[in-house]
């Protein structure tokens, strides 16, 4: 089954209701005109293609199937994605893939600030650059950046892997450059192939947690005691 929805003629509520009721098929959305929450909450194995740019939270809470946007996206693209694939042919603004638990998010252009913030298992591949504080408090998953990363990459990071082919303006608190091992080369090969992007895995540097923020050090007790006495 294949259906087309023209958002200049049908409401966003009607569109999303139809997508939620579907169990299979392909759907084309025309004239999105920057609408918010397009194709949000999809939980069936359907394929959705959007012809044009979208607003906030497109494909938010995505659980299965695929969403492709032929254009740009505003804040919160694929926020809290659980599984499946979300792809955008243009660029995304802030917080793309925020809190994502799984699945694959592909941004063929650039991503703005806080891309992958608090990611919890999602894989994100960005063909261009990412903005400042990307992967802030990233807990699990992989962020692959074929371009450059702006300031404070990976600030307060936990156990996610960040791969950057270009330059990094600065690393955030507790984020350090780490060894690229064979297992990471294999991960890069897999993700680049899934994203349909061409790059040599050996050209990337890996960044991750220095593991200093969430480890208790017994030597710190003296400092805490002195602070209490001083009060």
Residue 163: its pLDDT value, please?
Answer: 98
- 203 pLDDT exceeds 60? yes
- 149 pLDDT exceeds 70? yes
**Distances in whole angstroms, Cα of residue 189 to Cα of each of 102, 112, 182, 185, 197:** 18, 24, 11, 6, 10
d(CA 25, CA 19): 10
| Segments making up each domain of the chain, as ranges | 2-230
- 198 pLDDT exceeds 70? yes
Residue 118: its pLDDT value, please?
Answer: 97
- 30 pLDDT exceeds 70? yes
- Nearest 5°: the CA angle 6, 84, 55 is 40
- 231 pLDDT exceeds 70? no
| 2-230 is a CATH 3.40.50.970 domain | no
Q: What is the arithmetic mean of pLDDT over 96-115?
A: 98
Sequence-distant (6+) residues with CB within 8 A of 28 are 2, 3, 4, 5, 48, 49, 50, 51
Q: Give the CA count within 13 Å in the CB-facing half-sphere of 189.
A: 8
Q: What is the arithmetic mean of pLDDT over 149-157?
A: 97
> Considering the entire predicted model, what is its pTM?
0.92
Mode of pairing for the β-strands spanning 140-145 and 161-164: parallel
């Amino acid at each position: 089954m294949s259906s087309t929805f023209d958002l200049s003629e049908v409401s966003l509520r009607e569109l999303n209701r139809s997508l939620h009721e579907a169990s299979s098929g392909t759907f084309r959305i025309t004239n999105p005109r920057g609408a918010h929450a397009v194709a949000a909450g999809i939980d069936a194995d359907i394929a959705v293609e959007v012809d044009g740019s979208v607003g906030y939270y497109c494909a938010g809470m995505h659980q299965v199937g695929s969403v492709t946007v032929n254009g740009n996206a505003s804040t919160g693209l694929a926020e809290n994605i659980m599984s499946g694939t979300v792809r955008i042919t243009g660029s995304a603004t802030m917080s793309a893939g925020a809190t994502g638990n799984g699945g694959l998010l592909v941004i063929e252009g650039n991503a703005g600030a806080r891309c992958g913030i608090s990611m919890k298992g999602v894989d994100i591949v960005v063909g261009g650059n990412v903005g400042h504080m990307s992967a802030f408090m990233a807990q699990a998953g992989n962020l692959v950046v074929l371009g450059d990363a702006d300031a404070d990459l990976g600030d307060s990071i936990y156990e996610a892997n960040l791969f950057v082919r270009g330059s990094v303006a600065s690393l955030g608190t507790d984020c350090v450059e780490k060894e690229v091992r064979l297992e990471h080369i294999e991960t890069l090969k897999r993700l680049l192939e899934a994203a349909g992007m061409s790059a040599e895995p050996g050209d990337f540097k890996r960044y991750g947690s220095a593991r200093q923020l969430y480890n208790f050090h017994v030597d710190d007790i003296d400092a805490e005691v002195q602070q209490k006495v001083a009060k």
